[in-house]
């Protein structure tokens, strides 16, 4: 098992290295003259030349690439061109907010999606199955930014039962940082008012963000169940006298969710992308709003760092998914030998 | 033909097909269907933010333009963007997948590693970054979308090619001296077509969704183009008063994407008969 | 009919018919099947694939597929009709050994846990008792390292070992009847012999009854004292195994035996195939393939005719067939 995990980690490294190179190409080579882009439209040639020297853009491209790689490896992304603060610091501050949001969405998607898929499969081609199918296809068809706006319109503006935007109430503030997740930190601090507030603020963004994930988890669980139900061991278990509730919820479901777990890993990337839109609308102080701000202000250092951090998170999640696969199905870890 | 018959027997998938066909017709005849086709560019400040009425069934927007007309006119650009992006993604992804899947070796490894790298990049952020770096606009957005979507086709075609290269008929063809490009293009590709078609159908829906998001974030279509995502963004400042303003363009996105997704879902059911068999 | 049955049978299938809904109309998979397994006795059901063997098993085990209906007949086990409650009252009392040891265990759970779950529901005692008993059974089926086997996953056993596991599973709830579905077809010949020997021994030691389904007369002869030949959802012939193997009465049984390489003088196949269950011929279902067809065969369904003390055959012309 340990060897299997190590192997998965090593496999993730080339992709990350490629990502570092790709970000370099994107930020330094494609724009034509990054110095001019940095300086803005109204800059004089002298100002552009100054910026070029300041950021080392006058160096040979290979040297720039090596410097870039060294900086990335040491976690030094320089200072934000927009705020002047170290990019690493700014990201460390915002990453927990995004993680809290995506984990909440993933949690919702899983605890609703898996039972939905299960029920649909047991009702194969019946009315419940068709309904779940429509829901799961529809969930992937809704534009998250539009859904966010509609939910705001109904629940925050019209009914006024949920907060419109933000992560916490200004008067209550954030609990002392331990994990960086407002829900957990407030509990650790024993501040139930802050906990309630954090959950309250989390509801709309998490619901918006979870929908596509919920849709694909339901769908993958459904097809995984349908496939698993065809297996001989189901028939055998029924003949041997398994109880049907246990048979479907535990015995068969565990086979069915291997595909779902892979899907959850892939989803995480989509969730982070989705978070950009959702954060922008709900004013969620996470990486998504940071990325949008970096793009609007042409802050290429910040953008580069966000892309890499998200890439690393994505890689870590996928290693975790491989690990979960191996725990669910003991054959997985042995296949690679 | 058999596939079409099966598809039409599936009520949910036929509904998807109907939605897509409807959208194509609307796009083709948009200038004739729209009650106020000139509202693509003209504004009428005096009649701004009118609620839905007989005169303006979907209401008017912040510049007094008929939202129904702009939703109809926006269908065209949504479909054009989707076709262009999926076409370009196919043009990159299919050859990569074919070459990488046909023979194992350093070239195959390299191509698939590159594909993995592109898959590891958060798609939206890459698209946003590109959109920003290359002057925001619809063309840039399309380029960015194609650059981030081709790996999905490469993966699909790679898997299909690997599956098919072991098939007996491929060995038989090689045995009678057919050249590799000939086998790939005339025999492997057509057999991989169902998988590609399903991927492309779902890709159409996905592209429309992402393009709308780019428009919404201000790096896609630019005003005054009648773009659905852009309209939702413009509507943000006028909530909660003008509920109709974001609602109808958003519904248009939903229905068109739903159409492609249901169609793709139905096609997948046909291609994967295992899941059609009823449970015992 | 079953002359050898002295006491009341442990399991009896009476006039059982099973139909399955299909797109092409109802398929009459089983049609008026009557069989009995006496207490402590063993019955082999033999026939080609498609003759209804599996459906018969599924009816007995209470796991008929979704579209199946039972228009007529009963399955009595220990005197109770177990069709009505889909076998629920017989769970644990009937041990089942499936056909394919590779596919019958769920790969993602420990093999031991899968058996223990069944014991939890159908055997008295604590989990600790169950574990002790299971290890004992593992020893009885000659599984290597019986104690360590509890913690292993199915893929860590060989095919023969898995079939031993499944025999242990079948015996785990102290059944009175064991139902086996061609339990050796997925295994190689040497392993087959060992498994059959283990099965025979355990059945004899514990005084269990056995219903054994197979297409292989050779295997049948070593395990069962009674045999029923099934053709296209009907019983063609029943009787003591030795007698039927030595002198089959039904033309189908004779031809089937002639196909068996161990005894065949030449490898004579049976022309034609088992008819589709949706398109059964009228009268005797074997008549289109029968070499001794008479004018009445396509019209009248032949009844089971007793022959001597212990045998019965569904062919009025069997005397001629035996002579000719």
Predicted confidence at residue A320, as pLDDT, reads 84
pLDDT at C87 over 90: no
Residue A29 lies inside a defined structural domain of this protein: no
Domain, as residue range, for A53: 34-76
Q: Residue A199: pLDDT band by 50, 70, 90 thresholds?
A: very high
| Higher-scoring residue by pLDDT: B10, C324 | B10
pLDDT (0 to 100) of residue A202: 94
Specify the pLDDT at position B164.
82
Q: Does A124 touch chain C (CB under 8 A)?
A: no
Give the per-residue pLDDT at B278: 37
The predicted pLDDT at position A105 comes to 94
Decide if pLDDT at C105 tops 80: yes
Q: Are residues A69 and A98 in the same domain?
A: no
* B206 alpha carbon, distance to own chain's centre: 5
Looking at residue C137, its pLDDT comes to 94
Closest CA to A325 of C106, C108, B117: C108
State the pLDDT at residue C168.
94
Each residue's pLDDT tens digit, C208-227: 999 999 888 888 888 899 99
Q: Tell me the average pLDDT across A278-300.
A: 85
User: Taking 50 as the threshold, does the pLDDT of residue B41 lie above it?
Assistant: yes
Examine the pLDDT at A234 and tell me if it is beyond 80: yes
Q: Is the pLDDT of residue B276 over 60?
A: no
Q: Please say if the pLDDT value at position A284 is more than 70.
A: yes
What pLDDT shows up at residue A34? 63
Residue keyed to tokens 């997704």: B261
Last residue of a domain, one of A21, A49, A76: A76
pLDDT value at C321 more than 80: no
For the segment C9-29, the average pLDDT, to the nearest whole number, is: 87
**What is the least distance, in Å, from the CA of B137 to any CA of chain A?**
14
Q: Does A8 map to a domain?
A: no
A247 and A190 housed in the same domain: yes
pLDDT of residue B280: 30
Residue A303 domain flag:
yes
pLDDT at A40: 67
Q: What is the pLDDT of residue B56?
A: 87
CA distance to A47, A146, A202, B209, per residue, from A152 (Å)? 44, 10, 13, 20
| Mean pLDDT for the stretch of residues B188-215 | 90
Residue A141 within a domain: yes
DSSP state of C213: E
In the predicted model, what is the mean pLDDT of residues A232-256?
A: 85
Residue A29 pLDDT: 60
What confidence tier does C228 reach under pLDDT thresholds 50, 70, 90? very high
C-alpha distance from A311 to closest chain B C-alpha (Å): 6
> How many C-beta atoms surround the C-beta of residue C260 within 10 A?
15
Q: Is the pLDDT of residue C257 over 50?
A: yes
In the structure, what pLDDT confidence band is assigned to residue C323 with cuts at 50, 70 and 90?
Answer: very low
Whether residues A185 and A293 share a domain: the answer is yes
Residue C68 and residue C20 in contact, taking contact as beta carbons nearer than 8 Å: yes
Contact predicate A16/B120, CB 8 Å:
yes
Looking at residue C264, its pLDDT comes to 43
Per-residue pLDDT, A147:
94
Please give the residue of chain A at the shortest CA–CA distance from B117.
Answer: A15
Q: C interface mutation test: which of A1, A125, A227, A240 has the most C CBs within 10 A?
A: A240
As a whole number of angstroms, the distance between CA C18 and CA C272 comes to 24
Q: For a pLDDT cut of 70, what percent of chain A falls above it? A: 94
Domain annotation covers residue A7: no
In this prediction, residue C1 has a pLDDT band, given cuts at 50, 70 and 90, of very low
3-state SS class at B48: coil
Do A46 and A152 fall within a single domain?
no
Mean pLDDT of all residues in chain B? 85
Q: Of A18, A43, A76, which residue sits at a domain end?
A: A76
Residue of B131, A254, A295 whose CA lies nearest to C113: A254
Please name the residue of chain A whose CA is at the shortest distance from the CA of residue C65.
A235
User: Domain holding A267: CATH number?
Assistant: 1.10.3720.10
Rounded to 5°, angle at Cα B61 from B55 and B65: 60
C-alpha closest to that of B164 among B196, B140, B189:
B189
Q: What is the structure's pLDDT at C260?
A: 65
Q: Is A272 in the same domain as A179?
A: yes
Closest-CA residue to B205 (of C103, C132, C53, A138)? A138
Residue with tokens 């922008």: A280
Same domain? A51 vs A92: no
| Encoded tokens for A247 | 């048979």
Side-chain half-sphere CA neighbours of B131 within 13 A: 33
Q: Is A180 helix (H, G, I), strand (E, B) or coil?
A: coil
Residue B247: predicted pLDDT: 93
Judge if A57 and A164 occupy the same domain.
no
* Number of Cβ within a 10 Å radius of residue B262: 27
N-term to C-term CA, chain A: 10
pLDDT at C2 over 50: no
Domain count, chain A: 2
Angle between helices A287-296 and A87-122 (to 10 degrees): 120
Comparing B225 with B208, which gets the higher pLDDT? Answer: B208
What residues have CB less than 8 Å from A309, skipping those under 6 apart? A91, A95, A287
- Taking the Cβ of residue B74 and every Cβ of chain A, the question of whether any pair is shorter than 8 Å is answered with no
By CB neighbour count within 10 A (0-12 exposed, 13-18 middle, 19+ buried), where does A218 fall? buried
Mean pLDDT of chain A: 84
Residue A23: inside a domain: no
Q: Does the beta-carbon distance from A255 to C61 stay under 8 Å?
A: no
Q: What is the DSSP string of C25-87?
A: EEEEEEEEEEEEE-TT-EEEEE--TTSSHHHHHHHHHT---TTEEEEEEEEEETTEE-TTTTT
> Nearest CA to CA, how far is B162 from chain C (Å)?
27
- For residue C12, pLDDT beyond 60: yes
Average pLDDT over residues C236-248: 91
A164, A233: one domain: yes
Q: What is the mean pLDDT of chain C?
A: 86
In a domain, A11, yes or no: no
Taking a C-beta distance cutoff of 8 angstroms, is the pair A133, A116 a contact? no
pLDDT, residue A210, reads 93
pLDDT in tens, B98-133: 999 888 888 988 898 888 878 777 667 777 777 767
Q: Are residues A112 and A169 in the same domain?
A: yes
CB contact (8 A) between residue A141 and residue B258: yes
**Residues A58 and A170 occupy one common structural domain:** no
Interchain pair A232, C61: CB under 8 A: no
Q: Which chain B residues touch C66 with a CB distance below 8 Å?
A: 278-280
Can you name the residues that pair with C30 across neighbouring β-strands? C18
Which of A14 and B71 is assigned the larger pLDDT? B71
Work out the average pLDDT over A207-232: 90
Name residues whose C-beta falls within 8 Å of residue A175's C-beta, 6 or more positions apart in sequence: A182, A185, A186, A188, A189, A191, A194
Please tell me the distance in Å from C63's CA to the nearest CA on chain B.
Answer: 9
Say what percent of chain B tops pLDDT 90.
Answer: 34
Residues in C 226-265 with any Cβ partner in A closer than 8 A? none
Q: What integer pLDDT is reported at residue B92 of this predicted model?
A: 95
Helix (H, G, I), strand (E, B) or coil at B132: helix
How far apart CA C17 and CA C19 sit, in angstroms, is: 7
Mean pLDDT of B58-87: 92
- Given A25, A43, A76, which residue is the final one in a domain? A76
Give pLDDT, residue B44. 84
pLDDT (mean) for A306-311: 82
* pLDDT, average across residues A205-217: 92
Q: A175 with A240, same domain?
A: yes
In this structure, of A217-231, A233-247, B19-33, the range with the lowest mean pLDDT score is A233-247
Give whole-number Cα distances, C146 to A254, C139, C149, C151, C190, in Å.
26, 6, 5, 10, 22
Instruction: Quote the Cα angle for C302-C307-C310, to 5°.
Output: 120
Instruction: Evaluate whether residue A256 is within a structural domain.
Output: yes
Task: Name the phi and psi angles at A133, rounded to 5.
Answer: -65, -45
For B213-237, what is the mean pLDDT? 87
Query: What's the alpha-carbon Rg for chain C, to the nearest Å?
Result: 20
Instruction: Estimate the share of chain C in helix, then strand, then coil, as percent rounded to the nearest 5.
Output: 35, 25, 45
Structure tokens at C207: 């005084």
Q: Is B110 in contact with B263 (CB distance < 8 Å)? A: no
C91 in contact with A at a CB cutoff of 8 Å? yes
* Chains interfacing with B (3 or more CB pairs < 8 Å): A, C
Mutation target among A118, A144, A146, A156 for the B interface, most CBs of B within 10 A: A146
Considering only CA atoms, which of C317, C258, C228 is closest in space to residue C47?
A: C228
Name the nearest CA neighbour of A234 among A254, A218, A220. Answer: A254
pLDDT confidence of C149, banded at 50, 70, 90? very high
The verdict on A132 and A254 lying in the same domain is yes
Q: What percent of chain C has pLDDT over 90?
A: 44
């Amino acid at each position: 098992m340990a060897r299997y995990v190590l192997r998965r980690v090593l496999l993730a490294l080339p992709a990350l290295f490629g990502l570092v190179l790709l970000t370099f190409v994107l930020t330094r080579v494609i724009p034509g003259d990054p110095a001019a882009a940095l300086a803005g439209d109204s800059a004089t040639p002298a100002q552009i030349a100054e910026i070029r020297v300041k950021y080392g853009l006058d160096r040979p491209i290979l040297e720039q690439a090596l410097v870039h790689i060294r900086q990335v490896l040491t976690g030094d992304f320089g200072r934000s061109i927009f705020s002047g603060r170290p990019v690493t610091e700014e990201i460390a501050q915002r990453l927990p907010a995004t993680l809290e949001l995506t984990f909440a969405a993933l949690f919702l998607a899983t605890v609703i999606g898996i039972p939905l898929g299960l029920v649909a499969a047991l009702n194969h081609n019946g009315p419940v199955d068709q309904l779940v199918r429509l829901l799961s296809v529809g969930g992937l068809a809704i534009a998250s930014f539009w859904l966010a706006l509609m939910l705001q319109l109904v629940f925050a503006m019209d009914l006024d039962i949920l907060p419109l935007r933000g992560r916490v109430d200004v008067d209550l503030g954030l609990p002392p940082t331990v994990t960086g997740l407002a829900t957990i930190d407030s509990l650790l601090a024993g501040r139930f008012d802050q906990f309630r507030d954090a959950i309250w603020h989390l509801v709309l963004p998490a619901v918006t963000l979870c929908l596509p994930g919920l849709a694909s988890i339901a769908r993958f669980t459904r097809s995984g169940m349908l496939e698993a139900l065809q297996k001989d061991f189901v028939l055998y278990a029924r003949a041997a006298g398994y109880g049907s509730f246990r048979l479907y919820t535990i015995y068969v479901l565990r086979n069915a969710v291997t595909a779902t777990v892979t899907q959850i890993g892939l989803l995480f990337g989509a969730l982070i992308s989705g978070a950009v839109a959702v954060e922008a609308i709900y004013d969620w102080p996470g990486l998504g709003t940071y990325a949008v701000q970096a793009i609007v202000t042409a802050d290429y250092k910040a953008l580069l760092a966000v892309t890499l951090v998200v890439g690393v998170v994505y890689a870590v999640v996928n290693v975790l998914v491989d690990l979960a696969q191996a725990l669910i199905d003991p054959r997985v870890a042995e296949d690679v030998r | 033909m058999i596939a079409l018959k099966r598809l039409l027997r599936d009520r949910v998938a036929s509904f998807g097909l109907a939605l897509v066909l409807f959208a194509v017709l609307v796009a083709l005849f948009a200038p004739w269907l729209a009650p106020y086709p000139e509202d693509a560019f003209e504004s009428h400040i005096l009649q701004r933010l009118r609620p839905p009425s007989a005169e303006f069934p979907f209401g008017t927007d912040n510049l007094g333009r008929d939202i129904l007309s702009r939703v109809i006119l926006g269908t065209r650009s949504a479909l054009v963007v989707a076709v262009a992006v999926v076409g370009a993604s196919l043009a990159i992804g299919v050859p990569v997948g074919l070459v990488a899947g046909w023979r194992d070796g350093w070239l195959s490894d390299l191509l698939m590693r590159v594909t993995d790298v592109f898959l590891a990049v958060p798609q939206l952020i890459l698209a946003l970054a590109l959109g920003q770096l290359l002057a925001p606009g619809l063309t840039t957005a399309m380029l960015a979308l194609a650059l981030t979507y081709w790996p999905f086709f490469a993966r699909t075609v790679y898997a299909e090619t690997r599956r098919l290269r072991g098939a007996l008929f491929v060995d038989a063809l090689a045995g009678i001296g057919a050249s590799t490009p000939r086998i790939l293009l005339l025999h492997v590709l057509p057999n991989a077509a169902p998988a590609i078609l399903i991927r492309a159908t779902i890709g159409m829906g996905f592209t429309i969704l992402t393009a709308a998001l780019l428009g919404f974030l201000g790096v896609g279509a630019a005003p005054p183009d009648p773009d659905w995502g852009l309209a939702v963004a413009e509507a943000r400042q006028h909530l909660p008063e003008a509920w109709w303003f974001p609602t109808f363009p958003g519904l248009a996105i939903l229905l068109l994407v739903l159409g492609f997704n249901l169609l793709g879902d139905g096609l997948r059911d046909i291609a994967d008969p295992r899941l059609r068999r009823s449970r015992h | 009919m079953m002359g050898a049955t002295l006491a009341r049978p442990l399991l009896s299938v009476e006039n059982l018919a099973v139909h399955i809904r299909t797109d092409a109309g109802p398929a009459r998979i089983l049609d008026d099947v009557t069989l009995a397994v006496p207490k402590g006795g063993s019955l082999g059901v033999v026939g080609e694939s498609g003759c209804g063997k599996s459906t018969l098993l599924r009816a007995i085990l209470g796991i008929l597929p979704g579209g199946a209906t039972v228009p007529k007949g009963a399955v009595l086990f220990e005197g109770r009709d177990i069709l009505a409650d889909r076998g629920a009252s017989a769970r644990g009392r009937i041990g089942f050994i499936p056909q394919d040891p590779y596919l019958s265990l769920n790969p993602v759970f420990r093999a031991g846990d899968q058996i223990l779950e069944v014991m939890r529901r159908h055997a008295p005692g604590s989990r600790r008792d169950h574990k002790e008993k299971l290890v004992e059974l593992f020893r009885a089926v000659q599984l290597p390292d019986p104690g360590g086997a509890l913690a292993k996953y199915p893929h860590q056993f060989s095919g023969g070992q898995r079939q031993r596991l499944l025999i242990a599973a079948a015996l785990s709830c102290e059944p009175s009847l064991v139902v086996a579905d061609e339990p050796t077809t997925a295994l190689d010949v040497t392993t087959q012999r060992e498994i059959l020997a283990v099965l025979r021994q355990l059945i004899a030691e514990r005084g269990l009854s056995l219903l054994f389904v197979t297409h292989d007369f050779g295997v049948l002869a070593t395990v069962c004292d009674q045999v029923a030949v099934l053709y296209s959802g009907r019983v063609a012939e029943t009787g003591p195994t030795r007698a039927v193997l030595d002198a089959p009465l039904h033309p189908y049984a004779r031809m089937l035996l002639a196909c068996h390489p161990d005894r065949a003088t030449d490898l004579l196949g049976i022309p034609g195939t088992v008819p589709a269950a949706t398109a059964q011929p009228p009268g005797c279902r074997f008549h289109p393939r029968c070499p001794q067809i008479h004018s009445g065969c396509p019209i009248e369904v032949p009844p089971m005719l007793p022959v001597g003390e212990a045998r019965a055959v569904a062919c009025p012309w069997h005397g001629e067939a035996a002579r000719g």
